[in-house]
Chain A
Amino acid sequence: MIKKVGHNLAQFCVKNACFILPYPEPRARARFLKNSALFAYVLVLLFFQLYIYRISPRILGFATDITTTELYQLVNQERSEQGLPPLKRNSKLEQAALKKAQDMFAKNYWAHYAPDGSTTPWQFITSAGYTYKYAGENLAKDFDTSESLVTAWMASSSHRANIVNTNYKDFGMVAVNGTLLGEETTLVVQMLGSTLGSTTTATSGGTTSNPTGGTAGAKAPAPVPPPAPKSQPLAVVGPTESGEDPTPAPAQAKMAPLEQIVRAFNPTASPKAVPLGFGFLLLGLFAIDEVYMLKDGLDHQELKRTAENVGHMVILGLLMVIVWTMRTGGII
């Protein structure tokens, strides 16, 4: 019985090996590499892309999978891991974040402070009716997923300091699509704050200021970059805004190499998963084809085919390199 099953299994493997090996005809392509198979891959990819484009009208040219619900969960998850109480979702801060995002699109800038020099993040908060004692702002753009965005914020000491700051009790976030600096962009604005009436414990976080006092109208100490507007009572400001470089290089999350690879190949976490996975599969099939020819010595006919294999492998390798190095977003 076992012998029969083993025999059948061996036969099955031999029979189906021709899908990945140039078998039984040594000079033929494996079935998965024949033109008909390549044509099928093209059709499948085309179909999925058109389908995705059709069912996802919210997706812009350079799309993201960011949802504010996920962002709220992930930020509070980071806080709970630090033993901090969760922040409360605040509609006024959400409104302020939305106004800030709209202002960046309208005035075409990517910074905590508008280029006119007079528009500050705190104006959006106060105009939304939120009377703050402490306030902060984190910005991000062009991230693929909520997870990658929060990971990048947590990898930046100043943004992390805002997220795990014990002075904050409330937060509001929005993800808004639009055209910024000539490119389709998804902006994420996070406003954090606590009201004058709320009690706070000791401040944590590296670059945020730790104001003393706590009554409206008290003179604020000069916050660490950038300085808070003097007209505001107390403010903990956005983290790294310097006003010098409106489009800084994207901050990369500090992850272990293996974690980066696993993440990149995870289709739910990254849009790079399908290109990398499929590219890797095709690259492997061409490599097997090449190895198979080399194994038994190349005949004249096979020798001519090696150029195709090498060329195809190199262009697929190039594709994988450029997909891997594609930017995933920026934070300020």
Chain B
Amino acid sequence: MKKWGWTAHFLALAIIFSSSLWAFLQFRDSPILQLYVVIAAVVAYDAWGLIYHYFRRRLTLDLVLEYLLVGALVILLFFWTLFS
């Protein structure tokens, strides 16, 4: 992958995370909307991971599972904060 491609991918990741954080802080008074923001961030992150590794020609089933499991952990841990 060329350097500009790498930069573009990580710029996209930075945008995903910073916009998620911004949206999360905007919805301070609504935990439900915050939950939607976290789910959206995880979906975007997983999509980013799959696209990134697809372009690097290293998209394996193990890798897809890893991204999905990390995303699931993030959502579950956020759920824990809300519902425990």
Taking beta carbons and an 8 Å cutoff, which residues of A are in contact with B?
A: 35, 38-39, 41-42, 45-46, 48-49, 52-53, 59, 61-63, 183, 247, 271-272, 274-275, 278-279, 282, 304, 307-308, 311-312, 314-316, 318-319, 321-323, 325-327
Contacts and interface: CB of A to CB of B under 8 A. Distances in A.
B80 A275 contact: yes
B45 to A, nearest CB: 5
Contacts of B32: 183
Contact of B17 (A35, A272, A315): A315
Given A35-B66, A315-B17, 4 more contacts: A41-B73, A62-B83, A271-B80, A314-B17
B49 A63 contact: no
Interface of B: 13, 17, 20-21, 24-25, 28-32, 34, 38, 41-42, 45, 48-49, 52-53, 56, 58, 62-63, 65-67, 69-74, 76-84
B20 A318 contact: yes
A183 B69 CA distance: 30
A42 B76 contact: yes
Contacts of A321: 21
Given A42-B69, A274-B77, A278-B77, A318 B17 contact: yes
A254 B84 CA distance: 24
Contacts of A319: 38, 74, 77-78
The B contact surface, by secondary structure, is: helix
A327 B29 contact: yes
A183 B30 contact: yes
Nearest to A41: B73
B84 A63 contact: yes
A172 B79 CA distance: 33
Nearest to B61: A35
Contacts of A38: 66, 69-70, 73
7 contacts: A35-B69, A42-B72, A45-B80, A61-B83, A63-B83, A274-B84, A315-B42
Contacts of B65: 35
A279 B54 CA distance: 27
A271 B84 contact: yes
A42 B30 CA distance: 26
Contacts, number: 107
A62 B30 CA distance: 11
Contacts of B49: 308, 311
Kindly list the 6 A-B residue pairs having the minimum CB-CB distance in the complex, ordered from nearest.
Answer: A38-B69, A275-B77, A45-B76, A271-B84, A319-B74, A42-B72
Contacts of A323: 77-78, 81
A215 B38 CA distance: 58
A89 B78 CA distance: 37
A321 B78 CA distance: 11
A318 B41 contact: yes
B35 to A, nearest CB: 10
Contacts of A63: 83-84
Contacts of B48: 311
B83 A45 contact: no
Contact of A274 (B29, B30, B34, B80): B80
Contacts of A39: 69
B83 A49 contact: yes
A275 B83 contact: no
Q: Which of A38, A183, A247, A315 has the most CB of B within 10 A?
A: A315
A322 B24 contact: yes
A61 B67 CA distance: 28
A272 B81 contact: yes
A123 B72 CA distance: 50
B74 A315 contact: yes
Contact of B79 (A49, A183, A278): A49
A275 B78 contact: yes
A115 B53 CA distance: 57
A45 B73 contact: yes
